Amino acid sequence: MKSIIDYLNCGVINLANERVCFLVTKFSDICNIIIPFFDKFHIQGVKHKDYLDFLRAKTLVENKAHLTQEGLDTIIKIKSGMNRARMNDITPEKN
């Protein structure tokens, strides 16, 4: 994990509940480092859809929509459909 921080020059390591997490909370680091990294090195599979939703939420924050109740509700709705919620919606393809 330290190598990731060194490579990207951003983020911190968080140890919680027997998990090690890499966190980036600085919005400028997300916009200027993390997003360009994943635009260059594409995320594969269903996580790509989560990334696209993340970009939608980032755009809302950039446009200050998160400062309104409607914008905040939109971000919450986007988040509620990501990760495990999206994984629960996946059904195996029928051949």
Point out which residues pair with 16 in neighbouring strands.
Answer: 19
Query: What does the pLDDT read at residue 17?
Result: 87
d(CA 47, CA 52): 9
Q: What is the pTM of this model?
A: 0.78
Instruction: Give the list of residues 6+ apart from residue 87 with CB closer than 8 angstroms, or none.
Output: 46
Residue ranges of the domains in the chain? 1-41, 43-95
Print burial letters for 64-94: b (CB count within 10 Å at least 16), e (below 16). Answer: ebbeeeebeebbeebeeebeeeeeeeeeeee
User: How far, CA to CA in Å, does 93 sit from each of 6, 43, 48, 68, 90?
Assistant: 40, 21, 18, 40, 9
List per-residue pLDDT tens for the chain, 95 residues long. Answer: 889 999 999 999 999 888 999 999 999 999 999 999 999 999 999 899 999 999 999 999 999 999 999 999 999 999 999 987 776 655 555 44
| Amino acid sitting at position 4 | I
Whole-angstrom Cα distance, residue 49 to residue 7? 25
pLDDT of residue 1: 84
